[in-house]
Amino acid sequence: MSTSSFTMPFAGNDLNACEHERDPKELQAFLNDPKAKAMLLDRGRPALLPEGGLKWVKPNDLIGQNIADPGPLFLGKQGDVPVFAFSISTENALTEIESFQDMRVVAAQLSPMELALAGQAKSLFDWHDEHRFCAKCGAGSRGNRGGTTRQCDSCGAAHFPRVNPVTIMLVINGDDCLLGRGHGWPEGSFSALAGFVSPGETIEEGCAREIFEEVGVTIKSPRYVFSQPWPFPSQLMIGLICETDDRELVIDANEIEDARWFSRDEVEAVFAKRSDAFKRPPRFTIAHQLLRHWLKEG
């Protein structure tokens, strides 16, 4: 990455995951550590302080709150501080915890590190929620190793969190850039095209296939720029810039609602808030960062 001083939103987690200190006894010692701290999430939304920032509590204050599977999620150690996340439901929440917020709404109220940690916790809790049963034998499984795996006690299978690779790309023709919008997006919103990488594909092949399927354009020279962990629910967003000689778009209405060419000047004006030709993707998205990167390159 050439952009060394920049932290991609949702990235920058500096915890030691303590891969080899995750047996029940070790986890209990981390929970009992007076320095330990825990964030709270309700259905993927972290608890915030009234003034912004994550609300941190002592893990021991939560014991007895009947924390359901997967139990305390051990994110790792930040220096000598064990960091946990607890998934709770506001139905039986501590009454003083009032404010659970969608990270896409309150991203600016969290520090980069808080966003990274809460994003990681959300991805893991979402994965547990969607994988309570063993896909191999159908029996109920349980969270294990501080919530980084699930164990099936019936057939013995260990299950690992899913990370879905997605290519997201700016397609460039001369000094113009192709942006699209999905069905049901807020009016005027446009962003980079994106799609899941399929089995049997390279990153570049996934990128080319997705662009061709969505807008009928053939790309050349795809170029990796940077990546982002995206916790809605757990994608690895792989950002690319690629060129095309094609100008005409054949939009697949099954996939997207619209796509259009935008000139560098138009994009620049929108980012400088001198124009509302379109609604740009929010700052915490890799699409926003890709567009900024393209503007800087130009």
Candidates 234, 244, 285, 289; binder of a second copy (CB under 8 A) is: 234
- Residue list 255-294, contact with a second copy (CB under 8 A): none
Burial of 279: CB neighbours in 10 Å, binned 0-12, 13-18, 19+:
middle
Q: Can residue 162 be called a binding residue for a second copy (CB under 8 A)?
A: yes
Q: Can residue 238 be called a binding residue for a second copy (CB under 8 A)?
A: yes
Give least dist CB 136 to a second copy, A.
Answer: 6
Distance from C-alpha of 63 to C-alpha of 97, rounded to nearest angstrom:
16
Binding mask of the shown chain, residues 20 to 59, with x at each position contacting a second copy by CB under 8 A: x---------------------------------------
- DSSP class of residue 145 equals G
Which of 131/279 has CB closer to a second copy? Answer: 131
Distance from C-alpha of 98 to C-alpha of 58, rounded to nearest angstrom:
17
264 near 177, Cβ under 8 Å? yes
Helix-strand-coil split of the chain, %, nearest 5:
25, 30, 45
* H or E element in which residue 45 lies: strand 45-46
Q: Can residue 67 be called a binding residue for a second copy (CB under 8 A)?
A: no
Q: At what angle do helices 286-297 and 264-271 cross, to 10 degrees?
A: 120
Q: CB neighbours of 86 closer than 8 A, spacing ≥ 6?
A: 38, 39, 40, 41, 59, 62, 65, 67, 72, 73
The stretch near a second copy (CB under 8 A) out of 45-53, 55-63, 190-198, 257-265 is 190-198
Which of 46/231 has CB closer to a second copy? Answer: 231
Give least dist CB 204 to a second copy, A.
Answer: 6
Please give the structure tokens belonging to residue 120.
């990681």
Q: CA separation (Å) from 9 to 13, 73, 120, 168?
A: 10, 22, 12, 15
Candidates 29, 63, 68, 137; binder of a second copy (CB under 8 A) is: 137
Binding mask of the shown chain, residues 69 to 108, with x at each position contacting a second copy by CB under 8 A: ----------------------------------------
Q: Can residue 244 be called a binding residue for a second copy (CB under 8 A)?
A: no
Give least dist CB 178 to a second copy, A.
Answer: 20
Q: Can residue 144 be called a binding residue for a second copy (CB under 8 A)?
A: no
Summarize as ranges the residues that interact with a second copy (CB under 8 A): 1, 8, 10-13, 17, 19-20, 116-117, 119-120, 123-124, 127, 130-140, 148, 159-165, 196-205, 209, 213, 221-222, 224, 226-229, 231, 234, 236, 238, 252, 254
